[in-house]
Structure 1
C-alpha cells in the first residue's frame, strides 16, 4: 500500500499525533513485563521438608535431623524434601531406617516468601511437575491467542481487538489472585495467555498508524523498553510484597491505570481502507493533521489508491495456503531455518527469565539486573540494525549468547558472581536477538505468504516458550544444565542463521519465485520487479476509471 504512505506524507514524521501514538501504545507493554513474569516469584519453590506432627511445625525445628534423612542439593547438605523416616510406635526406637513420603504434608521456609502457589497448593515432590506446567498452560494460551487474534484483527479491526484483549487481560490478572485451587489458576492463566497474545495486536496497530521511518524505533525501543521497565518494577513489588495473592493484586492495578489511555488511540486507517470505509479513514487522518497543526489536502485518498487497494484484496492471500511455505526449495529452507531460530530464541529468552530464581545470590537483585540487560540489549540492537547487515547481527547475537551460556559450566562454584555475570550477559544478547528476529523474518518471506510465514514462526516460538519452564526447572537439580541446553541450541541456531540471505537494503520479495537461496548455495542476486504486476494494476485502474466515467 505505498500510495497510502504517499497520501499521508503531509502529516510529517514526529508531530503531536505520532508522539501520542508512540507513547500510548508503547506504554501498553509496561504492565506486560510485570504481570506475566511475576511467575518468577509467584511460582517459585522455597526450601521445604516433610512435616512431622510430633515436632515443632516451624521450618527446620529441633528434632527434624533425627526424623528426616539428608540429601545433597547443589553441593549443600539439606533435609530431604520428599522423604522422612517411618515412625515405630511399638519399639524403643522412635524411627526406623525405612522411609516414607510426606504423608502429613510439608513445612516450607518463609525466609524469602510468605506464600507462593507452590507452598499454598503443595506443588512439590510427586506434584512438582505442576509448577512448570502452569507456565506451559499459559504459553499454550498464547499460541491460541496468536492464531485467533490475527483473524479477529483482520475481521473486526485492530483497535477493538486490542482494546478488548487488554481489558480482559487486566481483569484476568486480578482474577488470578482469587483462585481457590491450582486447577482454577491454570484455567484462568490459559485464558490470560490468550488475551496477552491478542493484546500484542497493538504492534500491528502502531506499525500501521506510524510511518515507515518511525516503525523500527517503535518496534524495538518503544515496545522493548516499556516491557523492560515493567520487568524492572517486578522485583521491587516482589521484595515489598511477599504474599503471592497480594503481589498479584498490586501488579494488576498497574494494568487498570493504563486502560483509560486506550481511548486516545484511533482505528488503523489502513485497515479501514481495506474495508472500503474511506470516509472514516480520512476523518482519522484529518484529526491527526489538526493535532499536528497542519492543513490537510482537500482529497486525501484518491481514486487510484482505492483501485489499487481493491486490486490487492482481489489478488491477496486467498490464492495461497500454508503449503506454499514449503512449495519450493528456497521456501523450505527459509521456513525451516526461521522456525528453528524462533524456537531457540523464545526458549532461551524465557528459560533465562524463569531461571533467575535458580541463580546464586539474591533473586530480587538478579531479576533487576536481568531487566537492566534488556535496556542494553534493545538499545544496542536498535543502533546496530541501522548500519550492520541483518544476517551478521542475528548470527552474532546467537553465537555470542550461546558461548556465554556454555562458559558457565566451567566456572567454579565459589565464583557465583561470575556465573551470574555470564548468565546476564548471555541474556543481554539473546534479548537483542528476540526483538531483531521479528524484523528479519518479515523481510525473508514474500508478500503473498508473509503473514502466514510470520504466523508459523510465532507458533513455533510459542512451542519453545512452552518448553522453557521445564528447562528452567532442571536448574533446581543441576544449576548448569539449563545453560548447557540453551547454549547448545543458541550456537546451533547461530550457525544456521549464517546461511540466510542478506536482506538489508534489498527490496522485499513479492512472490515466491523471488525468495533468495541460502547464502552458501548460490551467489547473491537481486530480484526484479514481479512480472506483470504493474501492468495488472494499471489495467485495473483504467477499468475502474472507465466504469466511474460511465
Structure 2
C-alpha cells in the first residue's frame, strides 16, 4: 500500500482544516495545565498553631503564652504541633501568677493539639489541609495526595496507548477528557481525605490519557512539516497557558472547593469539539474502515477548498494489506532485543530524571521566597520561551546533543543554586523557575 502522506498530499500542509485541528487539539490540553499542578494550591499548608479553646479559663496574658516558641528560618515562631498543658496554665492563671516572672515556662509540660488547630487565612481561606487537619502527625497525607495523582498518571500512561489502538484516538480522547472533568467535579463534594485522594487517582489517569490521545491524534492527522510544531509550540504552549491561568484563578478564589470547581468547569467547553474533531484516518485504515477514512479526507479537502480524487484509497491495496499476516505487539517487545532493550532502559532513566526535576521544582513553588502566586505564574510563563528554544533545537541540532546539553544545563543550575545566598530572594526564584523550564524542554519528543 502507498504511503499515507503520499496519498493525502493533495490536501496540502497548512490549510484551514489543518489549522482547525491544530488549534482545537492544542486547546483541549489547557485543562491539563490546571490539573497537573493544582495541588500546589488545593493542598497548600498555611501557618498554623494549636487552638486554645475559650473553655480553658485562661487570662489574656496566659493565653498569649500558651504556645511555646521555636526557631524557624532564623526567626522565632509559635510551635505548630505542641502547646503547654492547659490544665497547668489554668491553675497558674487562677493563682494570679505571671508567666516568665513567677513561672518558668520551660518547666511546664507540653501536650499535643488536643483541640485542633488555628490556621492563618492570609494566603488561603481553606485547603484540604485545613479542611481535614493534615498537619503534625498527619502531615504526610498532603504529599501522599500528590503521589497518588501521579500513580493515576502512571496507570494511565500504561493503558492509554492500548485503549486508543483498540477503540480509536477520538473515543479515548473524549472519554478521558470526560473522566478528568467528571472526577474533578466529584472532588468538589469530597467528604473525607480518602475520598478526595481516590478521585485524584482517577483524575490523574484521565489527565495523562487525554494528553497522549490528543498528541497522537494530532500527529497522525497533520502533515510532516506541522508535526514538530504541533508537538512543541502547539500542545505544550497551550499546556503552559493552562498552567498560567492556575495561579490567576487561585489568587482570586482562595477556598479550595470553589477553586477546584472553577478549574473543572472549563472542561465542559470541550464537549462541542466532538462534532468538529475527526477520528484519525490512519487508525481507521489500520482497522480496515476505508470508507470512513475517505469521508474524513474528502471533508478535509472541502474545507481546504480542494477537489480531491474520487477514489483516494484503492480497495485492492487495502485488501492486500489485510491479507498479510498481522503481527501482534505488546509492551514486552520493548525488551525483546539487546538494542531496543538498551534504548528502552535509557529512555526510562531519562524520563524519570526529567519528571522528577520538572514536577519537583514546579510543585515546590509555594516554598520559594516571595509570593506563591507570583512564583507559580512566573514558573508557567517561562515555559513559553523554553518550548520555543526546544522547537528551534529540534529543527537544527541532532536530538542527542540537544537532550544532553539541556540535561547538563539543568543539573548545573541545581548544583550552583546552592551557592546563591539565601537572602537574595530574586536570584533564588529566577534560578528555580529557570531550571524547571530547562527540564520542561527535555520533556519534548526529542
TM-score normalised by length of structure 2? 0.91
Distance in 2 between residues matched to 1:55 and 1:84, nearest whole Å:
15
Q: CA deviation at 1:49?
A: 0.8
**Match for residue 267 of structure 1?**
279
Q: CA deviation at 1:317?
A: 3.7
The structure 1 residue matched to 2:152, chosen from 137, 141, 163, is: 141
Trace 1:196-207 onto structure 2 (pairs within 5 A).
196-200=207-211, 201-207=213-219
**Match for residue 378 of structure 1?**
387
Q: Residue 338 in 1 paired to residue 338 in 2?
A: no
Query: Would you say how many aligned residue pairs link Structure 1 and Structure 2?
Result: 430
Distance in 2 between residues matched to 1:307 and 1:425, nearest whole Å:
53
CA deviations on 1:419-474 (whole Å, 9 max, x unpaired) are 11111111121111112xxx23xxxxxxxxxxxxxxxxxxxxxxxxxxxxxxxxxx
Trace 1:28-43 onto structure 2 (pairs within 5 A).
28-43=28-43
Distance in 2 between residues matched to 1:100 and 1:355, nearest whole Å:
31
The structure 1 residue matched to 2:143, chosen from 129, 132, 151, is: 132
Q: Gaps (5+ residues) in structure 2?
A: 100-104
Q: CA deviation at 1:311?
A: 6.5
Distance in 1 between residues matched to 2:49 and 2:165, nearest whole Å:
53
Q: Residue 285 in 1 paired to residue 271 in 2?
A: no
Q: Residue 120 in 1 paired to residue 128 in 2?
A: no
* Bigger shift: residues 29-38 or 229-238: 29-38
Query: Structure 1 residue runs of 4+, over 4 Å off?
Result: 61-65, 89-96
Trace 1:335-374 onto structure 2 (pairs within 5 A).
335-374=344-383
Q: Gaps (5+ residues) in structure 1?
A: 441-550
CA deviations on 1:223-277 (whole Å, 9 max, x unpaired) are 0110101111111111111111111111112111232123200111111111111
**Contact 1:69-1:84 at 8 Å conserved across structures:** yes
Q: Residue 27 in 1 paired to residue 27 in 2?
A: yes
Distance in 2 between residues matched to 1:136 and 1:231, nearest whole Å:
19
Distance in 1 between residues matched to 2:320 and 2:232, nearest whole Å:
31
CA deviations on 1:142-172 (whole Å, 9 max, x unpaired) are 2222222222211111111111111221122
SS in 2 for 1:100: strand
**Match for residue 396 of structure 1?**
405
TM-score normalised by length of structure 1? 0.75
Trace 1:481-520 onto structure 2 (pairs within 5 A).
none
Q: CA deviation at 1:191?
A: 1.1
Distance in 1 between residues matched to 2:341 and 2:182, nearest whole Å:
42
Q: Residue 299 in 1 paired to residue 311 in 2?
A: yes
Distance in 1 between residues matched to 2:39 and 2:331, nearest whole Å:
38
SS in 2 for 1:385: helix
**Closer, same or farther: CA 187–372 of 1 in aligned 2, 3 Å:** same
**Match for residue 102 of structure 2?**
none
**Match for residue 3 of structure 1?**
3
Give the superposed CA RMSD. 2.1
Q: Residue 68 in 1 paired to residue 67 in 2?
A: yes
Q: CA deviation at 1:315?
A: 4.5
**Match for residue 257 of structure 2?**
245
Distance in 1 between residues matched to 2:271 and 2:328, nearest whole Å:
34
Q: CA deviation at 1:339?
A: 1.0
